[in-house]
Amino acid sequence: MKARTMSFVRTWAGRLALGLVVLSVSATALHSRPSQAQATPTVQLPDFTDLAERVGPSVVNIRTTERRTSADRPGGLMDPNMEEFFRRFGVPIPSQPDRRGNPRNQEEEPQQRGVGSGFVLSADGFIMTNAHVVDGADEVIVTLTDKREFKARIVGADRRSDVAVVKIEATGLAPVKIGDVNRLKVGEWVMAIGSPFGLDNTVTAGIVSAKQRDTGDLLPLIQTDVAINPGNSGGPLLNLRGEVVGINSQIYSRSGGFMGISFAIPIDEAQRVAEQLRTSGRVIRGRIGVQIGAVTKEVAESIGLGQPRGALVVSVEKDGPADKAGLEAGDIIVKVDNKAVEKSGDLPRLVGGIKPGSKSTLQVFRRGATRDIGVTVAEFEADRPTRRAGGPEQGGPAPVAKAVLGMTVSDLTDAQKRELRIRGGVKVEAVEGAAARAGVREGDVILSMDNTEITDSKQFATVGAKAEKSRAVSVMVRRGEWTNYLVIRPTR
């Protein structure tokens, strides 16, 4: 009995020792294994407090006024909800007629025209804002964050880029730091400071939604989801390093308020404009004298261009730089000085950056082949009215009896060609079927078909007869002063 007891004790002692060893190994393994919290890094939202404190003193409020009589003010009373909004937030309510609808006086007096924002460029008082903030103002008043007010002088404003520079007589101001737009990435956090609805130094934040957004303006814009409202215009868009990367300029809205899409002018482009405004008061740009349109995928494929790219020349200004260089309506400009024109909006930006008087080389796609054309760039001036071509003279040649691709055409007289400044082409007398569906109209002039220049109705019929009935055929159409490509599909 005593021996069995000793054996039992030894057995349980061994098991206990083995258990302790296993427990020790498990504890060591557990201790050495990283926890789930340690393995997954914690993502923290950015803190904008320091950024707002540092940059806030560089942002200004801009009020503009214009002189007009009270009789010129818009009639009717302000919407009660909007009036309450102004009162609640301490914003001055614009002057209105009295409750009986009578104007308060007929004397000329300054009336508040609008509220915007701006930011300090230099310690001696140069301030950048939007051109539309100060456009048409008789007086510009700049308010600093320390509540000092100054009457500002408009140094220059450029409507095409929507950039303006104003100057106040002050020293020791805190200028902003200019950032590198090329380093800005989609998804990056950005912050805006401005005066929405006149509320000074309001801070909003969001991310960059897209870059190089083409909205039809001269400059490609930065798209963000930062809350921007009326009054934010002209304020800075800042990265997390406190550098200005853009000027808040536009919003996309169906209601007049913020809807999640706002646009800013890239600061590098704005700086170039501002430098010219400060030195000469105006911006000098190049021009070649063409009206352009977009190249669609359908047109690009039908004329052998491949991918839709370049700018389609729809009209050439008479005796302009492009006309003198030999550019023709229907040409597609694909490069400017070896810089690719990916879309039509790229052309005015590239040409606008060329110094007037300089010689430039355009790579042009014309009737299935590319060629280089040298052009001397002129200075951009105010838009000239387009001269409309007169209607063809009566008594021209009889129309061709046989219709081609749904078009019945006639030859042009020499006088008509001189009037339209073209070498050849045929006039559409009647249209039906596939051509009508493609958009060809009676009175249009067909300049080329299937990448072949059309000289007369006989050649038109020959080229049309060779065109395969099973594929799309491109035609270059002149309509008034405009030229465009249309794609005719014989079968649908």
The CB density around residue 151, as the number of other CB atoms within 10 Å, is 11
Of the candidates 124, 132, 225, 456, the residue annotated as catalytic is: 132
Residue ranges in 240-291 assigned as alpha helix (H): 267-280
Q: Quote the CA–CA distance of 399 and 397 in Å, as a whole number.
A: 6
Q: Annotation-wise, does 231 bind a ligand?
A: yes
Q: Bridge partners of 49?
A: none
Q: Annotation-wise, does 31 bind a ligand?
A: no
Q: Quote the CA–CA distance of 211 and 188 in Å, as a whole number.
A: 11
Q: Annotation-wise, does 161 bind a ligand?
A: no
Does the annotation mark 233 as catalytic? yes
Under DSSP, is residue 61 helix (H, G, I), strand (E, B) or coil? strand
Closest by CA position to 356, among listed 376, 381, 341: 376
Does the annotation mark 132 as catalytic? yes
Rg (CA), the chain: 34
Closest by CA position to 438, among listed 491, 368, 366: 491
Q: Annotation-wise, does 162 bind a ligand?
A: yes
Distance set, CA 352 to CA 141, 272, 333 (Å): 32, 12, 15
Contacts of 203 (CB under 8 A, 6+ apart): 48, 52, 56, 191, 192, 193
Contacts of 34 (CB under 8 A, 6+ apart): none
Of the candidates 158, 162, 200, 331, the residue annotated as catalytic is: 162
Under DSSP, is residue 88 helix (H, G, I), strand (E, B) or coil? helix
Residue ranges in 128-228 assigned as alpha helix (H): 131-134
Among positive and negative, which fits the CA dihedral 271, 274, 276, 282?
A: positive
The CB density around residue 274, as the number of other CB atoms within 10 Å, is 23
Of the candidates 117, 195, 209, 233, the residue annotated as catalytic is: 233
Q: Quote the CA–CA distance of 420 and 424 in Å, as a whole number.
A: 10
* Positions at the binding site: 132, 162, 231-233
Catalytic residues: 132, 162, 233
Task: Could you list the residues known to form a binding site for substrate, using ranges.
Answer: 132, 162, 231-233
